[in-house]
Amino acid sequence: MDKFKRAQDWVIAVLGLYAALSPLFYTYSGSSVFSVIVAIAIVVCAIIALSAPGSKPIQWVLIVASVLLFIVPWISSIAGWAAWNLRIVSIIMIILASTSLKKIE
C-alpha cells in the first residue's frame, strides 16, 4: 500500500485537528483539556497510520481514541453544541477507522 494515500486517514487527521481546535470555536461548559489531549493523540495516530498504512494496531488505537472522544463530554461535563460536535466527529472517525481496518484484512 502506498504511504500517505489513504483518504480515510487524511479525513481522520483533519477531524482530529478540528476537535483539538474546537475550544477556539465553541464555548465549553466544562474543561476542554481532556478532549484536546485525546484529539491530539488522534491526529498523531492518524499521521502514523498514513505513514504505515498496513498497521492494524494503529487502526485499533484510532478506534479506541475515537470512542474515548465520544465519551469525553460526559467525563468533562461538556454540554451544548460543543458536546454534540465532539460526538458527531468521533462517530465519523470510528466509522472511517473501522473501514480502514477492514481494508487491511
How many of the other CB atoms lie within 10 Å of CB of 40?
15
- Portion of the chain with pLDDT greater than 90, in percent: 50
Output the pTM of the full model.
0.89
Q: What is the number of alpha carbons within 13 Å of residue 64 lying toward its C-beta? A: 8
What's the pLDDT at 21? 92
Say whether pLDDT at 11 is over 80.
yes
d(CA 76, CA 58): 26
Domain range annotation of the chain: 7-104
The reported pLDDT for the residue numbered 93 is: 93
Cα separation values, 64 from 22, 25, 79, 97, Å:
20, 25, 22, 10
| Beta carbons within 8 Å of 43's beta carbon, 6+ residues apart | 13, 16, 17, 20
Supply the pLDDT for residue 5: 84
Selected residue with higher pLDDT from 89 and 101 = 89
